[in-house]
Amino acid sequence: MPADRIDAVVSLAHRRGFAFPSGEIYGGEPVAWDYGPLGVELKEHLRRQWWRSMVQQRDDVVGLDSAVIQAREVFAAAGLLDTYAQTRARCRACGHIRSLDRMVEEVTRREGRAPQTLEDISCPSCGTRGTFTDPERVSGLFGAWPDRAAPVTGPYYLRPEAAAGTFVNFANVMIAARKKPPFGIAQIGRAFRNIVGPGEFLLRSRELESMELEFFVEPGSDDHWLEYWVQQRWDWYVDLGLAPEQLRRVEMSTAGLPQHAKRVVEIAYRFGGSDADFLALEGVTNRADYDLTAHAKHSGADLTYFDQDRGERWVPYAIEPASSLTATVFAFLLAAYDEDEAPNTKGGVDKRTVLRFDPRLAPVKVAVLPLSRNADLSPKARDLSAVLRRRWVVEFDDSQAIGRRYRRQDEIGTPYCVTIDFGTLTDDAVTVRDRDTMAQQRVALDQVERYLLERLPTG
């Protein structure tokens, strides 16, 4: 995907209210993003589709919403206090601070080999080579110091992922939900990461929402379940609109695995126009028994499963499909973005920008457009809007020419526009326009809801 196309998507997202830089009136540092009216709806639809696929439609997965602030002991047991960090370096020429790990990754993708020293890396900001300071390790965790009566032994931390809360609640959930392996615990929630050099729109943000599943299985069956979840997650992305040719399965090398991982398979999406622009959208990790064993050792809790059929206890392995809802929003925005031509009122054609969202993801499902602000048309249009709002997010728009209003709805991905015109006053029918084909169909006013029910999701 060309850079100018990505710029167009970012511009549209800001202009139409999908996402704004947090604190934009104070300069808009790219540490986090605020979601506008359309972004809230798109994110909610993606969240709902994930939950429906991973929890609602299964009988072997249950939900959890664990705390964002966790005690120091939780992160110490998981090894995150020592390992969850990045190495940064500063360019002496321009002052730009960058993650060394990320710069090495970018050079390797671009040139096909890893740089040997810092002298081999050019500054991404000013292009100068050989001007970086010595690398410095920086914790990836955000600390929090709560006021409490007990002696303070160290900070609490904001979670960088939901996994820790899942593992410490493993026994609670297994007993309360009356589950046994194989079963999963799913979470969607906020996470905070002290990322060196945030930016790139929604891809790298210090505040994000993660969508995670810990699926607990019997040791020895873990390879099967990892392959199963890679395919499940791949199919989910394709079903909702990401083209298979824009996805890639990437097996992480053994040398690059984090300490908690036995194996990692990433699902990467092509965010740019070259093979170097495939970036991880989701990671499916075989965490083995690392986390449950570590938390059992540090807490003294029994985090095993007693297998009655075999008369023995064992520690389940965890298979973890995990993704950023924040990055997923950006991927689906890019995938939906399109430009084509549409006829205008002068007999010519205009360039049309359209977001071809799957109807399940479209922020606004229906737009109701009275042809004018005529006193006889507006009441009918508003009454129809009120009826349709019982099922869907509906936008009422009676400003400017009808062609411009169609373009506005195309640009935000609204699947259907319903126009109330002067013919409605005599035949009690409306014109329904399809976003993708621009085809128009006359539908009786009292049949509009049924017509849309056959074409739009209601959940």
> Which letter, b or e, does each residue of 51-75 get, where b requires 16 or more Cβ atoms within 10 Å of its Cβ?
bebbbeeeeebbebebeeebbbbbb
Do residues 421 and 436 make contact, with C-beta atoms less than 8 angstroms apart?
A: no
Residue-level pLDDT at 31:
74
Residue-level pLDDT at 348:
79
Do residues 18 and 39 make contact, with C-beta atoms less than 8 angstroms apart?
A: yes
Q: Which of 413, 415, 417, 414 is nearest to 403 (CA)?
A: 417
Domains of the chain, by residue range, sit at: 3-82+144-333, 85-139, 364-453
How far apart (Å, rounded) are the C-alpha atoms in residues 236 and 233?
5
Distances (CA, A) of 289 to 219, 247, 316: 8, 30, 6
Regions of the chain short of the pLDDT cut 70? 1-3, 29-30, 147-153, 197-200, 273-276, 459
How far apart (Å, rounded) are the C-alpha atoms in residues 261 and 41?
35
Residue-level pLDDT at 259:
85
- Domain covering 364-453 assigned CATH 1.10.150.120 in the classification: no
Residue-level pLDDT at 92:
84
- 369-390 pLDDT per residue, tens: 999 888 889 999 999 999 999 9
Look up the CATH number of domain 3-82+144-333: 3.30.930.10
3-82+144-333 and 364-453 have identical folds: no
- 83-140 pLDDT per residue, tens: 777 788 888 888 777 777 777 777 777 777 778 777 878 887 788 887 888 888 888 8
Q: Is the dihedral of CA 78, 80, 83, 84 positive or negative?
A: positive
How far apart (Å, rounded) are the C-alpha atoms in residues 430 and 304?
63
Residue-level pLDDT at 123:
84
How far apart (Å, rounded) are the C-alpha atoms in residues 230 and 281?
12
Residue-level pLDDT at 3:
61
Residue-level pLDDT at 284:
98
> Is the entire prediction scored with pTM above 0.75?
yes
Do residues 120 and 107 make contact, with C-beta atoms less than 8 angstroms apart?
A: yes
How far apart (Å, rounded) are the C-alpha atoms in residues 333 and 1?
12
The three-point CA angle 291-297-299 to 5° equals 95
Residue-level pLDDT at 152:
59
Residue-level pLDDT at 113:
75
